[in-house]
Amino acid sequence: MKRVEIITNQAIAEDILDSLEAHNIAENYTIIPHIHGRGKKGTRLGSPLWPEENCIYILYIDDDNVQIVKDVIKGIKDRFPNEGTKMFISPVEE
C-alpha cells in the first residue's frame, strides 16, 4: 500500500479528481482545501495580491494502482503545464 499526496492549484483540482475517478482510484480520499505557499510555478496565498490557492489530495492506494496515478498526474501536467502540480508517494507500514 502507498500514500499519495497530490498538491495542486485549486483551479484544476476537480480535473484531477475526475481523472482519478475515471480510473476507479479515488473512491476514498481526503482533500485539504485552501493551502497557501510558494513553489516553482508561483505564489498562492489567497490574498488580493496573490489570489490563487492550492489544495492537497491524500489517497491510500494499492501498489498495483501506483502507475495509473502517475499516468493520471502526468496527463494533468501535460494539459495544464502552468498550474503547478506535485505528487509524492510514500510506502505505508501495515
The identity of residue 94, as a single letter, is E
Q: What is the mean pLDDT of residues 1-15?
A: 94
> What cell does 91 get?
510506502
Task: Scan for cell 491510500, then name that residue.
Answer: 60
pLDDT value of residue 32:
96
Q: Where are the alpha helices (DSSP H) in the chain?
A: 13-22, 66-79
pLDDT in tens, 60-75: 999 999 999 999 999 9
Expressed as residue numbers, the domain containing 12 is 1-58
21-47 average pLDDT score: 87
Q: In this structure, is residue 11 part of a structural domain?
A: yes
- Predicted TM-score (pTM) of the model is 0.89
Q: How many domains are contained in the chain?
A: 1
Q: Say if 39 falls within a structural domain.
A: yes
Distance, in Å, from the CA atom of 60 to the CA atom of 79, rounded to the nearest integer, reads 25
User: What's the DSSP call for residue 80?
Assistant: -
Confirm whether 2 is domain-assigned.
yes
| Type of residue found at 15 | D
- Amino acid letter, residue 86: K
Would you say residue 14 lies in a domain? yes
